[in-house]
Amino acid sequence: MLEIAALSLRVSGVALGISALTGIPVGAFLGLSRFRGRPFLVTLVYTGMGFPPVVIGLFVYLLLSRNGPLAAIESAIIPALFTPGAMVLAQSIIAFPLVAGFTMAAVMGVDAQLHLQARALGATRWQTAVTVLAEARVGVLAAVIAGFGGIISEVGAVMLVGGNIDGRTRVLTTAIVLETRKGNFDLAIALGVILLGLTFVANWALLRLQGKEE
């Protein structure tokens, strides 16, 4: 059971790391700049935020499956289906729009006066962007929390691309589904409590970080 919880944390943690590293810059960029095609990209991100995870799972499944476009390429970066790597890939895609979308909103919420003030004090464009992002840090943290919430509790996509293989790709959510089906309600509930506890602790840790600022 510990093993299952550990895998859950690992998969979602790595996926969150990837989506934060990509989503925060993309969100900041979308929030800070004006260019043709921006409204389209923004709509895309917002759509992604509400996209059913299971559909993303299906998409990753098809991508990685034997006849899929990525299967032919032998590469260390591209994970095989039914491995934790595949689950990380799916969850990263699920969390990315959440992180990017909320980051964008947070950055756009920063007073336009700040941009002027930073530049007046001698900031380059890049320094201005960093300053704005730092000013929006509470919102950016909320974006990361939203991303985490979106994937730690997610079941459809990891089930599809992970396959819920005992000792290899079984995570808390898929284990709960399995045990419930088998009628092992006590075990299912125990797993559920662990999931709840993990989510609580992770959010609490992130909020403490946020609280230091407030």
> What residues line the site for other proteins (CB under 8 A)?
111, 113-114, 116-124, 127, 131, 134-135, 213
Residue with Cβ nearer other proteins (68 or 211): 211
Tokens (6 digits) for 158: 């990891």
Q: How far is the CB of 125 from other proteins (least distance, A)?
A: 10
Q: How far is the CB of 111 from other proteins (least distance, A)?
A: 6
Residue with Cβ nearer other proteins (134 or 165): 134
Q: Are 86 and 161 in contact (CB under 8 A)?
A: yes
Residues 171, 176, 181, 185, CA torsion sign: positive
| Distance of alpha carbon 21 from alpha carbon 50, whole angstroms | 20
Q: Are 91 and 12 in contact (CB under 8 A)?
A: yes
Q: How far is the CB of 71 from other proteins (least distance, A)?
A: 49
Q: At which residue do the structure tokens 């994937």 appear?
A: 151
Q: Are 163 and 59 in contact (CB under 8 A)?
A: no
Q: How far is the CB of 122 from other proteins (least distance, A)?
A: 4
Residue with Cβ nearer other proteins (76 or 120): 120
Residue with Cβ nearer other proteins (67 or 113): 113
